[in-house]
Chains A and B, each alone.
Chain A
Amino acid sequence: MKIVIIDYGAGNIKNVKFAVERLGYQAILSDDEATIRTADKVIFPGVGEASSAMRKLDSTRLSIVIPTLKQPVLGICLGMQLMCKSTEEGSTEGLGIFNVDVFKFSKEVKVPQIGWNQIENLESTIFNGIKEKEFMYLVHSYYAPLCSASIAQTTYGITYSSALQKDNFYGVQFHPEKSSVAGEKILENFLKI
Chain B
Amino acid sequence: MLTKRIIPCLDIKNGRTVKGVNFMDLRDAGDPVELAAAYAANGADELVLLDISATEERRRTLATLVECVAEKVNIPFTVGGGISSIADVDLLLHSGADKVSVNSSAVKRPELINELSSKFGSQCVVVAIDAKEIENDWRVHLVGGKVSTELNLFTWAKEAEDRGAGEILFTSMNNDGTKNGFANEALARLSEELNIPIIASGGAGIMQHFLDTFTEGKADGALAASVFHYKEIGIAELKQYLNTHGVPMRI
A-side contacts of B195, CB under 8 Å: 107, 110-111
The prevalent SS among residues of A at the interface is mixed
User: What mask results when residues 1 to 30 of chain B are scored 1 for a CB within 8 Å of chain A, else 0?
Assistant: 111110000000000000000000000000
Q: Which residue of B lies closest to A49 (CB)?
A: B121
Q: Is B97 an interface residue (CB 8 A)?
A: yes
A-side contacts of B93, CB under 8 Å: 11-12
Q: Are B96 and A117 in contact (CB under 8 A)?
A: no
The range of chain B's interface size is 35 or more
Q: Is B145 an interface residue (CB 8 A)?
A: no
State whether A18 and B221 are in contact (beta carbons under 8 Å apart), knowing that A116-B3, A141-B123 are contacts in the complex.
Answer: no
Q: Which A residues from 4 to 50 make CB contacts under 8 A with B?
A: 11-12, 14-15, 18-19, 21-22, 47-49
Q: Are B3 and A11 in contact (CB under 8 A)?
A: no
Q: Are B123 and A12 in contact (CB under 8 A)?
A: no
Q: Is A137 an interface residue (CB 8 A)?
A: yes
State which of B70-78, B177-185, B209-217, B230-238 sits at the interface with chain A. Answer: B70-78
- Of the listed residues B2, B45, B76, the one surrounded by the most CB atoms of chain A closer than 10 A to its CB is B2
Q: Is A183 an interface residue (CB 8 A)?
A: yes
The prevalent SS among residues of B at the interface is loop
Q: Is A113 an interface residue (CB 8 A)?
A: yes
Q: Which A residues from 82 to 118 make CB contacts under 8 A with B?
A: 107, 110-118
B-side contacts of A168, CB under 8 Å: none
Q: Which residue of B lies closest to A108 (CB)?
A: B195
Q: Is A121 an interface residue (CB 8 A)?
A: no
A117 to B197: give the CA distance in the assembly, Å. 14
- From residue A123, how far is it (CB to closest CB) to chain B in Å? 21
State whether A156 and B96 are in contact (beta carbons under 8 Å apart), knowing that A110-B197, A112-B166 are contacts in the complex.
Answer: no
Q: Are A11 and B121 in contact (CB under 8 A)?
A: yes
Q: Are A14 and B70 in contact (CB under 8 A)?
A: yes
A-side contacts of B1, CB under 8 Å: 117-118, 155
Q: Is B98 an interface residue (CB 8 A)?
A: yes
Q: Which B residues from 31 to 55 make CB contacts under 8 A with A?
A: 40, 45-46
Q: Are B96 and A14 in contact (CB under 8 A)?
A: yes
Q: Which B residues from 191 to 243 make CB contacts under 8 A with A?
A: 195-197, 220-221
Q: Are B74 and A183 in contact (CB under 8 A)?
A: yes
Known: A110-B220, A111-B195, A115-B221. 12 other contacts (CB 8 A): A15-B70, A18-B96, A47-B120, A47-B123, A111-B196, A112-B197, A113-B2, A114-B167, A115-B45, A156-B2, A179-B75, A184-B74
